[in-house]
Structure 1
Amino acid sequence: MTKTINIDWGKLGFTYTKTDFRYISKWKDGNWDDGKLVEDNNLSISEGSTALHYGQQCFEGLKAYATKDGKIQLFRPDQNSKRLNNSCRRLLMPEFPEERFIDACIQVVKANKAFVPPYGSGATLYLRPFVIGVGDNLGVKPAAEYIFCVFCSPVGPYFKGGMAPVNFMISDYDRAAPYGTGAAKVGGNYAGSLLPHEVAVKKGFADCIYLDPATHTKIEEVGAANFFGITKDDKFITPKSPSILPSITKYSLMHVAKEYLGLQVEEGDVFVDKLDMFKEAGACGTAAVITPIGGIEYKENLHVFHSETEVGPITKKLYDTLCGIQFGDVHAPEGWIVEVK
């Protein structure tokens, strides 16, 4: 018997909804245990856990999609696994094997199948894998024990009422240090971004844009997302830096831009004083796929790209193509889709 739940899929936001099961595996004495699905959504950890005191923790975000023909599929979970393990290595935490990571995600989706939003609703099932250092610790050193967990929550479309451009401001704050943890998906990066985000919102912007921490001349990230721009001669250009989080959505869009739209793709420096080379711009990440950028305020001047009210045609085509791949309506490159069976 299939469980039915009472959720108005059309009213879902990007918020937490408790689902029935989550996957947990514990690391101790040099090994991960077999892992299991549990119903309790509360973790009981030591007050000395390094995740609480020294920020020894990292996380991922990916989605499960319902297709038109009734399948459920994950989008590039192997890339999330690789990035999680990169983060683990940076924080001296044990890596979680890729095949087990993907299996854990599949187990969580299958166990919470009733929470997968139907095709056409615009909603998806968001998965949040994470690793935290736990156990009785006090000194500044790696933990002796760790927890790997994957939980899920149905979420609505990031854009209520359709995708529309928003404005951003250049921040005076740095998101990451030049040789810090910017390329790892660790909680400290996000904690440090809360104040700059609040400053931007109070000034009427959607979020802030961070420049490179070494010279403050190049765009790095847009809030918690990666930047891309479309030049006047139809090149897709996105920043490259060791302190940028490598976005799976960005690298997917780079492939789509080149192979599906026939654009020239470049990853390199994006100087903040050369914004007039772009006719369209956007921020990209798992939650929204693409957030169109209407304008960027820099030194009290607002530089507007395509429009503050309308999405540029290439940005729209990129969005529609990638979403089509994720929901099974557009043929996917080999290896990008993992079906949940």
Structure 2
Amino acid sequence: MPTDFMYINKCSSAQNFGQGQLSPYGHIQLSPSAGVLNYGQGLFEGTKAYRKENGKLLLFRPEQNAIRMQNGAERMCMISPSIDHFVDALKQTVLANKRWVPPPGKGSLYLRPLLLGTGPVLGLAPSPEYTFLIYASPVRNYFKEGSAPLNLFVEEDYDRASRRGTGSVKTISNYAPVLMAQIRAKSRGFSDVLYLDSATKKNLEEVSSCNIFIAKDKYILTPATNGTILAGITRKSVIEIARDHGYQVEERAVTVDELIEADEVFCTGTAVGVAPVGSVTYQDKRVEYITGSGTICQELNSTLLGIQTGIIEDKNGWVIEIN
């Protein structure tokens, strides 16, 4: 849903980003030879703003998004905004669109920062100009199932990422390749696709747009971010919350066999929060998992959302209040 304003900032490859400006939400102009159009030189981030009961607006760990964009920009040979510029731009965008932040418990304002190679370049080379842009949209639940458990399909024909590739950075070029598998899975009634590692096809990687966790007893496992998996900010936060709650969390290679034997499975991401998985289908075998009240997933989601919305005390300095 279009909102009122977007933030735009430009710089050449020989400069650093300075102060940008707010502009009415609308189209942007690009050269046909823009680096992002010809060679996919682009990154994006995702974060949310929440409204507290007292009307104040909150951001959740925005500096982590800034750091991840900087890491991605280094990998993609791009110029990126500083952490301070990034966070300040998010604040400006939220305040300019504050009437679009839903009431408490009714959703959030999703913020999409983009870093694009917008300068003209015909030969394969880094763009001579970059644009940092943020737009916003009010959102509710990412999946059409709402809060109902997800049904995942384990993909064996297509890979999401390969070793020494760009799977660990949030480049735009990572996402179009997953569409074929995702569309195929959804046409068969699945919520999304769970990918395996490209080398052995034995270890879990991630879902199309979120990280994966499995749980058994008081143990929680999630694939390690070893270069092919995106280091999700929600993922990082859920690991810290789980350890605070007394769970033993391991980041390592997680096999399909361990997935099949798990008690619970859940996904994490900015868009999805902490989403329960009701079933996984692997090689035509459907495995079902515990969901609902009293689960680890529900406990972690309640705590995370409570911190993000200001209901639970933030003891880690994760939340920034916007004035």
Normalised TM-score (structure 1): 0.90
1:151-171 Cα deviation digits (max 9, x unpaired): 111112336785221211111
Instruction: Measure, in 2, the Cα distance between the counterparts of 1:222 and 1:92.
Output: 26
Q: Is the 2:7–2:21 contact (alpha carbons within 8 Å) kept by the matching residues of 1? A: yes
* Alpha carbons 1:229, 1:280 under 8 Å: kept: yes
Gaps of 5+ in 1: 1-16
Map 1:65-144; keep pairs closer than 5 Å.
65-121=50-106, 123-144=107-128
- Relative to structure 1, the CA distance from residue 175 to residue 160 in structure 2 (aligned partners, 3 Å threshold; closer, same or farther) is closer
Deviation of 1:214 after TM superposition, in Å, equals 1.3
Q: Select which of 11, 24, 32 maps to 1:27.
A: 11
Q: After TM superposition, where is structure 1 displaced by more than 4 Å over at least 4 residues in a row?
A: 159-162
The CA distance in 1 between the partners of 2:242 and 2:161, in whole Å, is 28
Say yes or no: does 1:285 pair with 2:269: yes
Across the two proteins, how many residue pairs are aligned to each other?
A: 320
Correspondence for 2:24 = 39
Task: Give the % identical residues.
Answer: 41
User: In structure 1, what is the Cα distance between the partners aligned to 2:302 and 2:79?
Assistant: 38
Query: 2:135 matched to 1:157?
Result: no
Q: CA–CA distance in 2 between the matches of 1:67 and 1:162?
A: 22
SS of the residue 1:138 aligns to: coil
**Counterpart secondary structure, 1:198:** helix
Paired position in structure 2 for 1:167:
151
Contact 1:165 1:293 in 2 (8 A): yes
Alignment-mate amino acid for residue 168 of structure 1: L
CA distance in 1, matches of 2:192, 2:142: 15
Alpha carbons of 1:159 and 1:134: their partners in 2 closer, same or farther (altered >3 Å)?
closer
2: CA distance, partners of 1:126 / 1:224: 15
Aligned to 1:320: 302
Q: Which runs of 5+ in 2 are unaligned?
A: none
Three-state SS of the structure 2 residue aligned to 1:192 is helix
1:331 alignment counterpart: 313
Matched, 1:196 2:181: yes
Greater shift in the superposed pair: 27-36 or 277-286:
27-36
Superposition RMSD on alpha carbons, in Å?
1.5
The secondary structure found in structure 2 opposite 1:81 is: helix
Q: What do the CA deviations read for 1:252-281 (whole angstroms, capped 9, x no partner)?
A: 00111111x211111111100222441100
How many Å separate the matches in 2 of 1:56 and 1:162?
33
Match of 1:227 among 204, 209, 212: 212
Deviation at 1:178, TM superposition (A): 1.2
Tell me if structure 2 keeps the 8 A contact 1:158–1:287. Answer: yes
Match of 2:162 in 1: 177
Tell me the amino acid that sits aligned with residue 133 of structure 2.
C
| 1:58 paired to 2:43 | yes
Deviation at 1:59, TM superposition (A): 0.4
Per-residue CA deviations over 1:178-220 (Å, capped at 9, x if unaligned) read: 1100001011111000001011112221111100111111001
CA–CA distance in structure 1, aligned partners of residues 144 and 16 of structure 2: 44
Tell me how far apart the structure 1 counterparts of residues 258 and 112 of structure 2 sit (CA, whole Å): 37
- The TM-score with structure 2 as length reference comes to 0.95
Q: Is the contact made by 1:163 and 1:311 (CA closer than 8 Å) also made in structure 2?
A: no
- Could you say which residue in structure 1 is the equivalent of 2:228? 243
Instruction: Give the match for residue 249 of structure 2.
Output: 265
Q: Which moved more, 1:273-282 or 1:189-198?
A: 273-282
Structure 1 residue 140: deviation in Å? 0.5
Counterpart CA distance in 2 for 1:209 and 1:50 is 31
After superposition, the Cα gap between the structure-2 partners of 1:276 and 1:197, relative to the gap in structure 1 and judged at 3 Å, is closer
